[in-house]
Structure 1
């Protein structure tokens, strides 16, 4: 059921669902656990004509926007709150590969701009000269950074998604062992930090969890026992504009979701704002 404080709080969750059609039964588990007003999905892997609109509306989200393609990528915004889709945001790297969706949420105090991103993973080799996927990742973040810088400091805005970079030392299970692994290499960390700085974004998760504490949102499928080994990474992020930082009231990282049947390798993350 929707929480009982409409107009006073705003709960925004983000989840790399890793196939919306395969994992749509898990959405009810997420709603029961987090009760979000808005849920941003990444890696929906679903062409628009096959997006499960009616089933998602039945979860209490009457307002839905989605951009998808067969087998890869895809983003969606599911909302209890009316919004307007931003149609003029860039086509990153001119690929048309469904990695970003922006909306303006109709909330008290004026619209909140919300961006849902799925940054390229970058492949296995952290060398743009030999790995086109890594080059694409760096180019994507560079374009997003330039666009953000041109727009100026973010105002009444939230940026969420699977950014596929774990920037801080304790965003990975071993800083030393991960320095040469895609997602935590110095060039990626520098790129993501520049993007964040360009919009003067505030790291909403680290607002609540000090940088010296471990914080993960992703655990590999390759681990025989992901929970016992706990070799995680923080790949999923929530950034808020500086003018919303003081409105942050709580956060949640739904770690039990990693153990759900047919789980995604990412877990849902949520923040709550006082409006």
Structure 2
């Protein structure tokens, strides 16, 4: 436990020094605020800067509060996930490359605690950033488009938090197993590209960790199909467990790659 706390303090100080503790939440909050505000004021913006003929009336289909929140999530699915991958894909592999890992490995070290400290800091930053961003989005959405059922919002947020834990587990696993460049590429494929494939071909299956954001939207709208939804949650939890165990295994077995 003491080792974990020491390693966690190290991670915390490092993320304060490189300002990840600040700029990543700001990215999520920015998109959380921008999405409802832009959708609400878009007709006025286009009317004032669009150089349209006098008397032109621009009509947009009215959006529900639930659709605005899902629009925010779609921003997180691309830009938010890219931020997470690029910011943290070297969280383990970079320490092997720059020699920091060697300073740690020569001491009595629990590899479970080592990976656990990184899991803890990623969870605090990524999940905290998402919660701040989605609460900001909820606030402006409620003001501009109407209130959202609180219990549905909590379940919606919980499902997306599970998806983020899955993404964090992928990032940790790839960083433990591969070099930083390869970890970034593989994480990008597994998180972004597989999402695109699932969106294009996903009608052929209903159970997958990559469907959690979609099911989060269904929960928000109150029309989720329970069986596939529950199985997707269970499989995601199982996948997270295997990825984290794999991260510990590869961290331990790649000690020899640490720069001296």
TM over 0.5: same fold?
no
TM-score scaled by length of structure 1: 0.21
> Between Structure 1 and Structure 2, which shows a larger proportion of strand residues?
1
> Between Structure 1 and Structure 2, which shows a larger proportion of helix residues?
2
TM-score scaled by length of structure 2: 0.22
